[in-house]
Structure 1
């Protein structure tokens, strides 16, 4: 790859104090091969010593920048913030646990530039995760793509090289359920996948629980497809048919009891599914920010800054006070 490539290594992290130092050293070794490069850590509300280590590293290395989110907003929000503040033409997203080896980023970058892609996603060759995680990923993507008709980069991971301007377009889409992998194809971005090495976690433990993975999957299914609502129609038709049969056929008390329980279960399930879609609509209209930043060593837009009053400059014009934010003083677009 040409040394002139302009690229940001963006690293979301949450409670990774055991990994962050080594992650910095390995990412630095690879990303600094490019003359115009930087490392951007996005601390997603860590409660351990992660932020302190990042701040020490940033004080020693002027090419290291960081954002500290006001709380744990979740991975999607963390890398959304990272894409918003990455200053280079391309952004490579890496994990602090080093399961995606930084040395592999050059393959992704080369494929993106030579193939004129907007995004190249890594697929994990020889994935070093427990069997239930691997099985869950395959089932999740199979349901999404085959059953629900959602376009996704198949088997893509969060290890990816993305044109920063395109990543921002995705992040700015006002979707009720933020989901980068499903939103990117909707805006017409050119993407592909390629296999890269995958390694065991170096230290610490995975932050995704089974419940969290299930919520993430449901958010995708409900957020990007209306096909699950067809289940409600089929359930209603099945319940009507069962009621008609029971109305004309002799049935004992046990059969009636079983049928009653099943019909009620179908009704409750349909109500739960419809309620999930209602929650989706409410999320879209709530107007809550995707993230808020508590502190950083780069200029922050007032809308993203939890303490935006710190960045106001008070001037007096014609006898009246005027407050200018960073966006008005030219420090940020």
Structure 2
């Protein structure tokens, strides 16, 4: 059963009518209502396009968090072959919020790293809702080291509300682990491509996103803090998250305009959750195109390009 967001209520009502008419038409003695069905379906698609052409930042945030949106595990199962998970940081343990390993992508070997939120209650608890502990970022660094050793590209898929903020994470060096992940990304001598697939929030995202190219799904969000966190700090009121989202510039077009991301992967009308296979196919095509651009560059050129890319952020207008 489809999950509709609050602002999609008109679509939900239309789709409910369509389902009701389809059930009637499916009966042997059902009325001939094909013309009415066709009109309602056309109206539903038209209204969906209209709603999604006018999304504000807060509504985009809701789409980015949609429970049916493709997760890292979906990307692994769909666009990669022969994925072999590599667990543990060789220091403390294995963090299930960050999954990584070796895989085949379009005929080439790659290292895959990303956040997994989980879809069911059981899986969400297992993966800590995609909020990584320090060992997750240390695992990511270990995988980046492996990629450089064997000269294979790194592909990362941030999707997190932020790194785990609890006492245990702080005791085990959360900030240092994120910094090491960012530093290792910048120093890699192999192509490194990031795709923000849902939420790319805070250092929790940048710890695996210091890449040569940073792409975003059309309805993903990317920022130094979540709208709720920003509202709590600036407005002293988390309920003003909508106002914060509008002020922060967290949507893909806004980030592309400021050159914080390098490209946007278009999603099906109504978001990736409405047609996950098509959305992931578009993502694979975009990643492949970027990898082809980077694969001819030397390690020194890759490092220089990556560092300059991040140093250039914010220079405009200075």
TM-score (norm 1): 0.24
- Flag the structure with larger Rg: 1
The structure whose RCO (Cα within 8 Å, separation 6+) is larger is: 1
